[in-house]
Amino acid sequence: MNPWKNRGNKPTRTGFGEGIAEAGGLEPRLVVLGADITASVGLDLFKERFPDRFFSLGIAEQNGMAVAAGMVLAGKIPVFSTYAVFAAFRAADQLRISVCYNNLKVIIGGAHAGISVGPDGATHQALEDLAVVRSLPNMTVLSPCDATQARQAALMAVREINGPVYIRFGREAVPNFIPENLSFVPGKAQILRNGNDLALVATGHMVWETLQAAELLAAEGIQARVINMHTLKPLDVTSILSAARETHAILTAEEHQIINGLGSAVAEVVVKNYPVPMDFVGIQDSFGESGQPQELMEKYGLTSSHIYQKALSLYQRKKSIHL
């Protein structure tokens, strides 16, 4: 039985904004840099509470990233959030050299990530951002699964993590199901469901879809372990290897290209240490398109039913190998 209950849909961007606003009351050095999309990324809450610590830089993402680096050198803890396509790509040079090379504590919010940003289309659907940011030295990469966890991730980034942090979140309201008292520890995955028939490793909005897929599998007598990999860097190698050794099959699920995202990160660990059959749910090396979020999730194979079908196939593959 699934113990995780949806307490109501809520955007992860809202949770991120709540976390930053809360952190603002705890950390007087915290400042926020806006890029003309302040409300869109949830940072209007901070702006309203701490107007003297909010700076609007306009539509100038490269400048914003560079200013954030300068703020650190001036003794501040800056938060700079924009759409993930701009944070990871348009400002890539400043992110790599000014922020990561100098190992500066800048919290970067990668907003509107994934295909579910919907009607904005391919230009605004960040499907490759994880590939970029997880390859950068000194970077911590967080991908919370719901609004509650996005709030926790924002607080943790401000209060506990040294060096640059990238927090990935979406626009649409999604199920909010993580309890407030479930601790969030960067680099330590959460086992949301036990099972030894196969492991389903998911990140971001795909965690809820994966939990629903596990329910469908349970109806077939297949007990799947569900792992919320909310941190892509540093990766929880221990949880991955335990899953490989105990279930002997791993399926990953992400709202991102299957190339160089969560699936690639998990496969890097598995192939080196304990090879087992694997498969991947994600965007299959293509750009997105304009459409309603749920329609796009269906078209690109990112729903619970798609995860269920791939998991069934992987389970049968595992059984044929172990006969």
pLDDT digits (tens, 9 = 90+) for 53-89: 999 999 999 999 999 999 999 999 999 999 999 999 9
Backbone angles phi, psi at 288, to 5 degrees: -85, -165
Q: Where are the domains of the chain?
A: 9-175, 190-321
Asked if residue 3 has pLDDT above 80, the reply is no
Q: Exposure string (b/e) for 126-164, b if CB count within 10 Å is 16 or more? A: bbbbbbbbbebeebbbbbbbbbbbbbbbbbbbbeebeeb
Alpha helices in the chain (DSSP H): 12-26, 44-49, 61-73, 84-85, 92-93, 129-133, 147-159, 206-219, 237-247, 262-273, 293-299, 304-321
pLDDT digits (tens, 9 = 90+) for 110-152: 999 999 998 989 999 999 999 999 999 999 999 999 999 999 9
pLDDT digits (tens, 9 = 90+) for 8-29: 999 999 999 999 999 999 999 9
Average model confidence (pLDDT) for the chain?
A: 96
3-state secondary structure of 254: strand
pLDDT at 1: 54
At 240, which amino acid appears?
I
At 127, which amino acid appears?
L
pLDDT at 2: 61
- CB-based contact 251:314 (threshold 8 Å): yes
Rounded to the nearest angstrom, the gap between the alpha carbon of residue 218 and the centroid of all alpha carbons in its chain is 26
- Indicate the pLDDT class of residue 322, thresholds 50, 70 and 90: low
Return the closest-CA partner of residue 277 out of 301, 258, 251, 300.
251
Supply the pTM of this predicted model. Answer: 0.96
Q: Are 9-175 and 190-321 the same fold in CATH?
A: yes
Asked if residue 323 has pLDDT above 80, the reply is no
CA angle at residue 63 from 59 to 69, to 5 degrees? Answer: 135
Q: With pLDDT > 90 as the criterion, what percentage of the chain qualifies? A: 93
Asked if residue 52 has pLDDT above 80, the reply is yes
- Indicate the pLDDT class of residue 36, thresholds 50, 70 and 90: confident
CATH class of this structure's domain 190-321: alpha beta
- Indicate the pLDDT class of residue 4, thresholds 50, 70 and 90: confident
CA angle at residue 131 from 244 to 12, to 5 degrees? Answer: 85
pLDDT at 321: 86
Domain 9-175 falls under CATH 3.30.420.40: no
pLDDT digits (tens, 9 = 90+) for 296-314: 999 999 999 999 999 999 9
